[in-house]
């Protein structure tokens, strides 16, 4: 009985020792796995933080800068920090748009030219119409995609149709900007896409964008694109309908353009134009922290400015630019 008792005790002890021996490596392995996962997660978080800090955010509440002009006379009706340099984001596409329209009018290309989508274009992300390699669209189709859907892939396809490379097209954009007197503008992309690592963003000001807007409006066909609320872009079992990113086109009477822009560091920007009683105003707002604030400000400024143009008197609550004091005094005396 004593032998059996000791044998039983020995077996139990042996099992406990074996369990401990095998358990220790398992615990060590688990720690190593957890440490590896933690290290991987930490490394991923660090990369994300670095990428987010790459570009200094410039957006403010209610905006970084704003300006309103009479489209016909260039008279400044309102300005607030109008020369502030910001990131125009997709507002850049207006220059792409202008150059293509000018090329069409110069008969360098036609609206019915067919563009075959390249692999490079098909890989572009962000706001897009999901162009696929080897698909074929006309210049006209892609201009609607550019100005209604704000499609980055359409912007690249149009640029490459006119130029040998995107860099060459960007050179055209900067040359045209200089010709228009956009002295504080530097374009670096064909679409306003946020810069990748080691790259610089597009830069402009509200005042410069009014000059670009005025030039775009000189082309009779421009507003047929910018005023489009929605349009069928791709037919099929699941039709793709593009919808205008400029909400003022849908909910502000008389608004028929022009272009919105956004990425995180840039904030929400807009170049908007509207008419009333045959008069036209252009409002540009840069770097708002909120889309609804941007749209509300643009709506208010356009409404007040159109009233001012119509009456030839300063609208209530609208600031008057320097140099207009004599105009105000003259009106007060009359």
168 and 153 part of one domain: yes
With 0.85 as the threshold, say if the pTM is over it. Answer: no
Do both 22 and 106 map to the same domain? Answer: no
- Is 90 one of the catalytic residues? yes
Give the contacts of 144 (CB within 8 A, at least 6 positions apart).
225, 228, 231, 233, 242
Q: Specify whether 27 is located in the same domain as 147.
A: no
Using CA atoms, how far apart are residues 66 and 207, in angstroms rounded to an integer? 8
- Count of structural domains, the chain: 2
Tell me if residue 281 falls in helix, strand or coil. strand
Question: HSE on the CB side for 91, CA within 13 Å?
Answer: 34
Based on the residue annotation, tell me whether 319 is a catalytic residue of this protein: no
What is the predicted pLDDT for the residue at 17? 46
Catalytic annotation present for 229: no
Do residue 241 and residue 316 come from a single domain? yes
Let me know whether 242 and 148 are in one domain: yes
**What is the SS3 assignment for 91-125?**
HHHHHHHHHHHHHHHCCCCCCCCEEECCHHHHCCC
Query: Which candidate in 75, 85, 90, 297 is catalytic?
Result: 90
The pLDDT of residue 196: 87
**Please, is 161 exposed, middle or buried when counting C-beta atoms within 10 Å of its C-beta (0-12, 13-18, 19+)?**
middle
| Among candidate residues 14, 35, 53, the one where a domain is terminated | 53
- Return phi, psi of residue 105, to 5°: -65, -30
Q: In terms of domains, do 158 and 27 share one?
A: no
CA 51 – CA 280 distance, rounded (Å): 42
Same domain, 21 and 130: no
- Show which of 20, 37, 53 is a domain's final residue: 53
Domain range for 12 is 1-53
Residue 175 sits in the same domain as residue 304? yes
Whole-angstrom distance, CA of residue 120 vs CA of residue 164: 13
The catalytically annotated residue of 59, 75, 85, 93 is: 93
Q: Are residues 217 and 146 in the same domain?
A: yes
Domain boundary, last residue among 21, 37, 53: 53
Residues 18, 72: one domain?
Answer: no
User: 35 with 169, same domain?
Assistant: no
- The active-site residue out of 59, 127, 150, 305 is 150
pLDDT tens-digit profile, the chain (334 residues): 444 444 444 444 554 444 444 444 444 444 444 444 333 333 333 333 334 337 889 999 999 999 999 999 999 999 999 999 999 999 999 999 999 999 999 999 999 999 999 999 999 989 999 999 999 999 999 999 999 999 999 999 999 999 999 999 999 999 999 999 999 999 999 999 999 888 999 999 999 999 999 999 999 999 999 999 999 999 988 899 999 999 999 999 999 999 999 999 999 999 999 999 999 999 999 999 999 999 999 999 999 999 999 987 554 455 544 434 333 343 333 3
Helices (H) and strands (E) in the chain, counts: 11, 9
Are 121 and 270 within one domain?
yes
Check which CATH number belongs to the domain holding 79 and give it.
3.40.710.10
């Amino acid at each position: 009985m004593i032998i059996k008792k000791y044998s039983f005790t020995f077996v139990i002890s042996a099992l406990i020792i074996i369990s401990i021996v095998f358990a220790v490596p398992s615990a060590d392995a688990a720690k190593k796995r957890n440490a590896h996962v933690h290290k991987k997660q930490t490394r991923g978080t660090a990369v994300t933080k670095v990428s987010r800090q790459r570009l200094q955010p410039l957006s403010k509440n209610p905006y970084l800068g704003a300006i309103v002009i009479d489209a016909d006379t260039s008279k400044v009706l309102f300005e607030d920090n109008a020369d502030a340099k910001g990131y125009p984001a997709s507002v850049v596409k207006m220059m792409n748009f202008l150059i293509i329209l000018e090329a069409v009018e110069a008969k360098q290309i036609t609206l019915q030219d067919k563009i075959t989508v390249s692999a490079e274009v098909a890989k572009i992300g962000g706001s897009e119409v999901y162009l696929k390699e080897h698909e074929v669209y006309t210049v006209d189709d892609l201009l609607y995609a550019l100005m209604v859907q704000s499609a980055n892939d359409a912007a690249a396809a149009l640029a490459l149709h006119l130029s040998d490379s995107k860099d060459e097209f960007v050179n055209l954009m900067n040359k045209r900007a200089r010709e228009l007197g956009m002295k504080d503008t530097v374009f670096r992309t064909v679409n306003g896409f946020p810069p990748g690592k080691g790259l610089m963003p597009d830069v402009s000001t509200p005042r410069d964008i009014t000059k670009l807007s005025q030039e775009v409006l000189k082309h009779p066909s421009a507003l047929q694109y910018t005023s489009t609320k929605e349009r069928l872009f791709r037919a099929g079992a699941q039709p793709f309908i593009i919808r205008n990113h400029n909400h003022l086109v849908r909910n502000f009477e008389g608004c028929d353009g022009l272009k919105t822009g956004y990425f995180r560091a840039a904030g929400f920007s807009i170049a908007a134009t509207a008419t009333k009683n045959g008069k036209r105003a252009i409002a540009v707002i840069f770097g708002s922290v909120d889309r609804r604030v941007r749209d509300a400000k643009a709506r208010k400024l356009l409404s007040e400015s159109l009233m001012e143009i119509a009456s030839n008197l300063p609208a209530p609550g609208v600031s008057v630019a320097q140099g207009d004091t004599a105009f105000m005094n003259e009106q007060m005396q009359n």
